[in-house]
Structure 1
Amino acid sequence: MKTIHLTYMLMFFVVTIMYAQKINYPVSEIPETLKKNADAVIREHTVTKVIINDLRVESHEKFVVTIFNKSAQKLGYFDEGYDKHSSVSHYSVKLFDSKGVLIKKAKSKDFLDVKAFDGFTLYDENRRIYYHPYSEKYPYTVELEFSRIDKQTLSLGGWYPVYDFNVAVQNAVCNIITDADCPIRTKELNMAVPGQKTIIDEKTHYSWQLVNYNALEEEPFLPGYSQIFPQVKFATNEFNYDGYRGSMSDWKTFGSWVRELNKDRQVLPNATVSKLQAMVEGIDNDIDKIELLYKYLQDNTRYVSIQLGIGGWQTFEASLVDETKYGDCKALSNYMRALLNAVNIESNYIVVRAGKDASPIDVEFPSQQFNHAILCVPNKGDTIWLECTDQKQPFGYLGSFTQNRHCLLITEEGGKLVKTPEYTRDSNTQFSTNYCIIDSAGNCQLKGKTTYKALQYENIARYFYRSPKEQKEELYKDLNTPNSTILNYSFERNNEPIPVASRQLELTINKYGTTNGNRLFIPVNPLNAFNFIPEKLSSRKYPVELRSNTFDMDTLTFELPESYSVEYLPEPIGISTPYGEYVSKGSLDGNKFTYIRSLKMAKGIFPPEDYEKVREFYKTISNADAAKLVLIKK
C-alpha cells in the first residue's frame, strides 16, 4: 500500500509540474504557409520608440523567433551595442522547445558586457552586451526582450522587419510616439499595408505592422535589400548629438552641421607647415604638389579605428595626428586637408557610404546614412579624389570601396550631394599574353604576363601588401591549377588615379593535356576560364541586377609537340547580348596554335524574364572556355 500511495504521489507531482509549466510559442501554431522555405519564423517582433526630446529616445523591443536549422541560429542571439550616448537594460532571454516548454531562462551571469573591439580599433567607447542561446534539438524558439535609452536624435535607425531570405514573419509591429517638439519624417518601401498616424493626447503615434509574410528564396543577381524587403525609414528634421544641435531637413543643412563640428581642426604646428612649404618649393604643378603631400601622408601615418568624441563624428585635430602619426578615416582625411591648406591648395571633406556592395544612399531622404570619410581636391575643375586610410593606395584612386555613388561634399555653404567617379568597362581591364610549350606527354611550360587595370587592379592589389612567401602561397591558391609548379613570378604597378598592375609568371603544369589512345586533348584557356553558371530556376520573381563591368582579353600561343598533328580546332564563337559580349577564335601556323579570347561583361538591371537568357549567356561562355584542342599522333 505504501508503494501504491508513493506512486500516486509521484504521478500527482509530475502532473502538477506539467500544468504549472506555461506553454509558449509551440511550433504547431505556426501556419504551414510560413514554414515553407523558412530557416526561421519570426513569431513576434514589437518595437516601440518614444521620443521624449531631442536628447532622449526610450525604446522597448520584444523579439521571438523559431529556429528550424543551424543556418538561422544567429537570429536567436542577443547582441546589443551601446556607448556613452546610450544604455541597455531590462534584458532577458528565454529558450523554448518545439512544444513551447521553457527549457532555459538566462541568468545575469550568462550575459557578457565587453568592449566592441574589432581588432583595428585603438580607442573605443563602444560596448556590447551579448548572450548566444541555442539548442542542439531543432526546432526551438528564443524570446529576447530589452529596453534601451539613446541620448541623441541624429540616428533613429529604421524598421526592417524581415531579416533575410528564408525568414518568414508571423507578426511584426513598430510604434513611434513623439510630440510636436520632435516631429519625424518617414518613408515606406515595399510595404503592402501603409502605416497609421494618429494624434492622442497631443502626441503623434505612428504604427506599422507586417503579418504572415512568407519566406523568400534567394535568387542569383538580386538587387539590393531596399528593392525587395519591406522597410520603413524615419528621421527627425532637427536633431541633437552630445549637445551639438543640427538640422537634416535637407542635405545643405546636414552638411553645415558636419562643417561646424570639424571647424578649425586643420591647424598644424608651425614647424610642420614650414617643412611642407619647403617640400613643394620649386614645384609649379599643383597635381605634383598634391601627389607629393599624399605620399607624405601615406609614409608618415597609419590607419586605426577611433570611436571617441561625439559618436565618432568629430575628427581629431590635425596637430594631434601630426604628433601621434595615426588616425581614423575622419582624422586622416582632415589631416590631408590640413597638409594641402599649408601650401594653399583647397580641398573638401566628404562623408560617404563605403563598401564594395554597399546599397546606395537614399538621396531623397536626407539623414545620417554615411560610414566613411574621404577628401576631394577640386583642382580647378580637374578633380582629384583621395582615399586617406590606405598606405599603398594609388594616388587619386578610390576603387570599389567608394566609386560611383552619391556622397556629401562639405563646403562653406553647407552640404552638397555629388557623385564619385565610376570606372568604366574600358578601364576595368585584364589583358594577358601567354606562351605555352606542350610536350608529347601533355606537360605544359607557361610563360606570360597579365595586366590589371582600374577595378580589376584590385584582383591582385593585396599582393603588394604581402611578403614573398605569402605572395607565393596566395598565387598557388589563385591559380588553382592542379599539378603546377611556380618557377618564377613578379609584380609591378604604377601610382596613377587609374592604376595598372602586372604579373609576370612562369610555371609548369604536369599532365596539363590528357591522353586517350593516340589523341592528346589540350585545354585552350589554362588561367582565366569562366566557369560560373547560375542555377536554373523554375520561375524568377525579382529583376536581374548585373554588377560586373569588366573587359578581359587573353592571347595564348601554344607550341605543339612535333610528334602530333592537329585533328580538331575549337570553332570560333561570337556572341553579343545586352548582358555582355564573348568572342573566341584560333589559328594554326605550323606547329603553333594561337588562341584569342575576349569577354566583356555588362552591368545593368533587367526584367525577371531575362534571367534564363542571362543564364544561357553564362553557360555559353563556360562551355566555350572549356574547349580543347585535339591532337593526334602522326
Structure 2
Amino acid sequence: MKAFIISSLLLTGILSNSFAQNNWNVASIPAELKEKAHAVIRKSETIFTVKNLGEATEKNHKVITILDEQGLQYASMTLFYSKLEKVNNFEGVLYDSNGEKVKKVKKDDIHDGSAVGNGTLFGDNRYKYAEFKYAIFPFTVEFTTETTNKNLLFYPMWFPQEDEENVAVEQSSLKIQMPANLPLRYKSINGLAEPTLENIAESKSYTWQVKNLQVYENELYSPKWTRYGKGVLTAPNEFEVEGFKGSMKTWKDLGEFDNILGKGRDVLPENVQQEVKQLVANISDPSQKVKKIYEYLQSKTRYISIQLGIGGWQPFEASYVAEKGYGDCKALSNYTKALLKSVGIESFYASIRGGSNERDIHPDFPSQQFNHVIVCVPMKSDTIWLECTSQDNAFGYLSDFTSDRYALLSTPEGGKLVHTPVYKAKDNQQNRNIKVALEEDGNATVTAVTEYTGLLSDDYSDIKNLSSKEEQQKQLYRRINIPSFEVSNFSIQDEKKRIPTATVKLDLNVRKCASKSGTRLFLTPNLMSAINTVPPALDKPRQTEVVLKVALTETDSVTYQLPKNATLEFKPVGIKFENRFGTYQSEFQVKDGSLLYIRKLVRNQGKFPPESYAELIEYYKKVSKADRTQVVLKL
C-alpha cells in the first residue's frame, strides 16, 4: 500500500516575513534544553489548510540548531511529492552560532530525484532534497516549504519531537484550518493538551502548541506509541481522492471505501478460472483448497510495487495480474480473492500496518493508518491468513511482519476491525541439541542441531533463501553466540507448516571452550544460549508499561564428552525459578565420562505495570547468573 510519507523535518509552518526579525543566537537556548541534546528545535510551525474534501495546502517552517556532529542529520530537508502532492515552495537558510546568516539554499542546491525503490515497476513518488554542509558547531538551519495535497486520505500526524532521541523543542505548533461544514477528528497521544479552537469567517481552526520540551528518553520495553512523545493524530470524516469519495467516520465506512476502489476488479480470464477449478476438483476440504490456490499464487506471481496516483490504494484488476504475473500487495491480494471466489470460497481484503517493529494502529480512531494488504479467509472452525506478496511464506502463517496487530477487513457489509494471530511460547521455540568433544587444552569440536519454530524460524528461513553458501555462512556467524569459533560445515532446512520450522545443523571448532588454569579447566556449560545482558537500572521512576512483545521457549541439551583423564572437581546444583515474566530451570548430570547440561527458558508475553521493571531487571540478573554457572574439571 502506498505509504503517506512526511519527512520528519517537515512538521513546520509559515516563514516569517523577514529572517532578520528572528534571533537564532545559540546563546539564547535555555541550558536545560541542551542537556543530552544533539539538536534543539527552536521554532516549528505547521499550517494545514483544508479547502474542500479533496484538496489542502500545507505550509511548514522549521528552525533547528545543530549542537554537534551527531545532530547533522537535522541539517538537511527531504520533501516527498507525487502526482497528488505538488511542491509550491522550498527554501533554506544557514546561520552561524551568533544567528548571523551564512548562506541560503539556491535552486541548484536542491536535488530532485525519484523516490521509487528497486522493487517498484511504476511509481510517481519523488523527492526534493537540500542539505547544509557546515562543520562549525553549533549552527542553525531554517527551512520553509509549501505543498498542495490532493490526497486527503491522510491528515497530519504531529509529534513535535519526531520520534527521535536527543532532540529538544523550544517551541512547536500545528494549526489545522477546516471549512465550517467539514468536521475534524483528532486523538491526543501521550498527554498532549487539547487544542485551542478559533472560528474565523466560514472556517474553524485547531491549534496545538508545546514549549520547552527537554530531550525525550525512551524507556526500554515501552509501548511503541510512547516512544514518539506527545503528539496528535488527525483525520476527517469525509474525503475525496481523484474523484473517489469516501468516509472514515467509522471503520465500517473506511472498509466500504476499499470496497468501492475494488469494485469490478476481481474478474479473472476464463482460462485461469478453469485452471483453478481443475486444481481443486478432487479436494473436498475447503482449507486444503485454499492451500492449493495459495501455492498456485506463489508459483505464478511475484511482488512488484506499482504506485501511480490513486493506484497507491486501488488494486490493479485481477486480469492484469493473471496476464503479467506480478503485482503489489493490493493487486496480489485482490487476485487471490478472485481465485478463491472462482471456486466458491469467500475471503476478505485486509488492510494492515505491516512491519517487524512497527507501531500498531489506534483502534479507537478510525483513519487510514495502514501500509499493507493481506487476505483473510474465514473457515467454520478456523481463520486462514494469507501473505500474498511472498513466494516463500508457509501457508496460513503470518510472520512478525503482520502477526499480533489489528487488520481492517473489507466485508460486503463494510469494514470490520479484527486482530491477527498471536504466536505464543509453544509456537515460538528454539530446541537445541549439542554434542561437544572437549580436549585437555580447552578447545573443542562441536556438533549442534537447532530447531527453530514460529517467529524464531523467520530469520533462518530467510538465510536459507540467500543466493550463495558464502552469504548464508556470513549471516550464521552473526547469530552464533560463542566468543571464538569456526564453522567447518552447516546446513539449513525448513518446513512450510502453519507453524513453520527451520533446522540448522552446525559443525564447529571452538577455541577455549573451557579456560585452562594449571591443571584445571573452567567450563561454562551453556555454550550457545547464554543471556549476557541485563536491562539497565533507571535513575528515576519508570513512566510507561513494560511490554514484552514475543513469547518464546528455549530448550538446550548439551552433552560434553570430557577429556579421558579429567575428573569433576565442582558440579553446580541445578536451579529453578518462576515469576510473571517467565520460568527458568537448569540441571547437570554426570555419567560415564560425560557431562549433560539441560536448560529451559520460557519468556512470557504481556504488558506489565511500570513498577514491575525493577522485578524484570532482577529476573534477567538471575537468568544471566545461572547461564554463566561454571563446572570445574581437574586434569
User: Structure 2 length as normaliser, TM-score?
Assistant: 0.93
* 126 and 104 in structure 1: CA distance in 2 versus 1, 3 angstrom threshold: same
2:366 paired with 1:378: no
Matching residue of 1:339: 339
Q: Helix, strand or coil for the counterpart of 1:460?
A: helix
Residue 562 of structure 1, aligned match among 551, 561, 564: 564
Describe how 1:407-486 pairs up with structure 2 within 5 A: 407-466=407-466, 467-486=468-487
Q: Distance in 2 between matches of 1:404 and 1:199?
A: 42
**What amino acid maps onto 1:254 in structure 2?**
L
In structure 2, the partner of 1:594 is 596
1:619 aligns with 2:618: no
Count of residues in Structure 1 that have an aligned counterpart in Structure 2: 614
Deviation for aligned residue 1:170: 0.7
AA aligned opposite 2:253: T
- The residue number in structure 2 matching 1:488 is 489
Greater alpha carbon shift after TM alignment, 124-133 vs 490-499: 490-499
After TM superposition, give the deviation of residue 535 of structure 1 in Å. 2.2
Instruction: State the percentage of identical aligned residues.
Output: 37
Output the CA distance in 1 between the equivalents of 2:87 and 2:478.
45
Q: Which structure 2 residues correspond to residues 488-567 of structure 1 after superposition, within 5 A?
A: 488-543=489-544, 544-567=546-569
Q: Which amino acid is 1:526 matched to? A: L
- Return the letter of the residue paired with 1:552: E
- Structure 1 CA distance for aligned equivalents of residues 22 and 292 of structure 2: 70
Q: Is residue 91 of structure 1 aligned with residue 90 of structure 2?
A: yes
CA contact (8 A) 1:463 1:471 kept: yes
- State how far apart, in whole Å, the 1-side matches of 2:425 and 2:22 are: 60
TM-superposed CA distance for 1:482, in Å, is 4.5
Q: 1:228 to 1:23 in 2, by over 3 A?
A: closer
Match of 1:121 in 2: 120
- Which residue of 2 is the match for residue 300 of structure 1? 300
SS in 2 for 1:295: helix
Query: Partner of 1:174 in structure 2?
Result: 174
> Which range moves more in the overlay, 396-405 or 133-142?
133-142
Is the CA contact (8 Å cut-off) linking 2:432 and 2:450 kept in structure 1?
yes
Contact 2:376 2:384 in 1 (8 A): yes
Q: What's the offset of the Cα at 1:309?
A: 4.0
Q: Which amino acid aligns with 2:81?
A: Y
Question: 1:578: Cα distance to partner?
Answer: 1.4
Q: Are residues 529 and 419 of structure 1, via their aligned partners in 2, closer, same or farther at CA, if it must alter by over 3 Å?
A: same
Q: What do you get for the CA RMSD once the two structures are aligned? A: 1.7
Could you tell which deviates more after superposition, 233-242 or 198-207? 198-207
1:276-319, CA deviations, whole angstroms, 9 ceiling, x for partnerless residues?
A: 11222212222222111111111111111211240510001111
For 1:193, the aligned partner's letter is: A
Q: Give the alignment of 1:141-180 within 5 angstroms.
A: 141-163=140-162, 164-180=164-180
1:349 alignment partner AA: Y
Which sits farther off after the overlay, 284-293 or 241-250? 284-293
List aligned pairs for 1:66-145, cutoff 5 A.
66-145=65-144
Please say if residues 487 and 507 of structure 2, whose CA atoms lie closer than 8 Å, have aligned partners that are also in contact.
yes
Deviations 1:47-89 (A, max 9, x none): 1111111121011110011111232222232101111111112
Equivalent-residue separation in structure 1 for 2:485 and 2:215 (angstroms): 45
In 2, Cα distance between equivalents of 1:536 and 1:429: 29
Change (3 A) 1:217 1:309: closer
Question: What is the CA deviation profile of residues 345-393 of structure 1, one whole-angstrom value per residue up to 9, with x for unaligned ones?
Answer: 2111100111122212111111101000000111234211000111111
Distance 1:483 1:464 in 2: 24
Contact 1:23–1:102 (8 Å) recurs in 2: no
Q: 1: distance between equivalents of 2:228 and 2:215?
A: 12
Q: Is the 8 A contact 1:222 1:542 kept in 2?
A: no
> Residues of 2 paired with 1:217 and 1:383: CA distance?
40
Aligned to 2:10: none
1:194 offset after TM fit, Å? 2.1
- The Cα of 1:548 is off from its aligned counterpart by 3.2
Aligned 8 A contact 1:542 1:608 in 2: yes
What displacement does 1:472 show?
2.1
Q: Which residue of 1 aligns with 2:4?
A: none
Partner SS for 2:165 = coil
Q: Which amino acid aligns with 2:489?
A: N
- Please report how far the alpha carbon of residue 261 of structure 1 lies from its aligned counterpart in structure 2 after TM superposition: 0.5
Q: Distance in 1 between matches of 2:334 and 2:607?
A: 37
- Judged with a 3 Å threshold, the aligned counterparts in structure 2 of structure 1 residues 134 and 158 are, in CA distance, closer, same or farther, namely same
Q: Look up the match of 1:610.
A: 612
Confirm or deny: 8 A CA contact 2:59 2:145 kept in the other structure.
Answer: yes
Q: CA deviation at 1:175?
A: 1.0
Contact residue 532 and residue 622 of structure 1 kept, 8 A: yes
Q: Helix, strand or coil for the counterpart of 1:258?
A: helix
Shift of 1:570: 2.5
Structure 1 residues 196 and 614, CA, compared in 2 at 3 Å: closer, same or farther?
A: same
Quick one: distance in 1 between partners of 2:592 and 2:478? 35
After alignment, is 529-538 or 77-86 more displaced? 529-538
The Cα of 1:496 is off from its aligned counterpart by: 1.4
CA deviation vs aligned residue, 1:170-199 (integer Å, no higher than 9, x gap): 111111111123221122223453211121
- The Cα shift of 1:94 comes to 0.8
On the 8 A contact 1:190/1:227 being kept in 2, the answer is: no
1: CA distance between counterparts of 2:486 and 2:89?
Answer: 61
**Are the aligned partners of 1:22 and 1:101 in contact in 2 as well (CA < 8 Å)?**
no
Determine the C-alpha separation between the residues in 2 that align with 1:583 and 1:126.
54
Is there any run of 5+ residues in structure 1 with no aligned partner, and where? 1-19
Distance 1:136 1:573 in 2: 56
**Per-residue displacement from partner, 1:417-457 (whole Å, max 9, x unpaired)?**
11111001111111111111112222212223111111111
Q: Distance in 2 between matches of 1:76 and 1:304?
A: 34
Contact 1:154 1:241 in 2 (8 A): yes
1:217 CA displacement = 2.4
**Structure 1 CA distance, aligned partners of 2:266 and 2:524?**
59
Which amino acid letter does the alignment assign opposite residue 301 of structure 1? T
User: In structure 2, what is the Cα distance between the partners aligned to 1:158 and 1:600?
Assistant: 38
Tell me, what secondary structure is at the counterpart of 2:312? Answer: coil
Task: Decide whether aligned partners of structure 1 residues 86 and 21 sit closer, same or farther in structure 2, where only a CA change above 3 A counts.
Answer: closer
Go from structure 1 to structure 2 and tell me whether the alpha carbon gap of 1:423 and 1:133 turns closer, same or farther (over 3 Å shift): same
Deviates more, 1:324-333 or 1:21-30: 21-30
Q: Quote the Cα distance in structure 1 between the aligned partners of 2:349 and 2:257.
A: 13
Counterpart contact for 2:83–2:309, Cα < 8 Å: no
- Cα distance in 2 for partners of 1:59, 1:101 equals 28
Name the SS for the 2:252 alignment partner. helix
Amino acid paired to 1:621: V
| Alignment correspondent of 2:12 | none
Give the counterpart letter for 1:495 in structure 2: K
CA drift of 1:519 comes to 0.3
Matched residues in 1 for 2:227 and 2:632: separation?
49
Instruction: Tell me how far apart the structure 2 counterparts of residues 22 and 351 of structure 1 sit (CA, whole Å).
Output: 48
State the SS of the aligned residue for 1:551. Answer: strand
**The 10-residue stretch of structure 1 (575-584 or 218-227) with the greater mean CA deviation from structure 2:** 218-227
Q: Decide whether aligned partners of structure 1 residues 632 and 317 sit closer, same or farther in structure 2, where only a CA change above 3 A counts.
A: same
- Residue 630 of structure 1: aligned partner: 632
Q: Distance in 2 between matches of 1:393 and 1:224?
A: 26
Segment of structure 1 superposing worse, 590-599 or 459-468: 459-468
**Radius of gyration: which is bigger?**
1
- Rounded to whole Å, the distance in 2 between the matches of 1:72 and 1:296 is 50
Deviations 1:6-51 (A, max 9, x none): xxxxxxxxxxxxxx98874011111112111212111000111111
SS at match of 2:380: helix
- Offset of 1:561 from its aligned partner? 0.8
In the alignment, the residues of structure 2 paired with residue 157 and residue 226 of structure 1 have an alpha-carbon distance, to the nearest angstrom, of: 18
Q: Which residue of 2 aligns with 1:14?
A: none
CA distance in 1, matches of 2:351, 2:334: 11
Conservation of the 8 A alpha-carbon contact between 1:37 and 1:217: no
Separation in 1, partners of 2:580, 2:140: 47
Q: 1:319 to 1:502 in 2, by over 3 A?
A: same
Cα distance in 2 for residues equivalent to 1:70 and 1:50: 36
Corresponding residue of 1:209: 209
Instruction: Give the direction of change, closer, same or farther, for the CA distance of 1:228–1:267 in structure 2 (3 Å limit).
Output: closer
Q: Is the 8 Å Cα contact of residues 47 and 176 (structure 2) preserved in structure 1?
A: yes
The verdict on how the C-alpha distance between 1:580 and 1:70 changes in structure 2, with shifts beyond 3 A counting, is farther
* Structure 1 contact 400–455 (Cα < 8 Å) conserved: yes
SS at match of 1:380: coil
On the 8 A contact 1:53/1:181 being kept in 2, the answer is no
Distance (whole Å) between structure 2 residues aligned to residue 602 and residue 27 of structure 1: 48
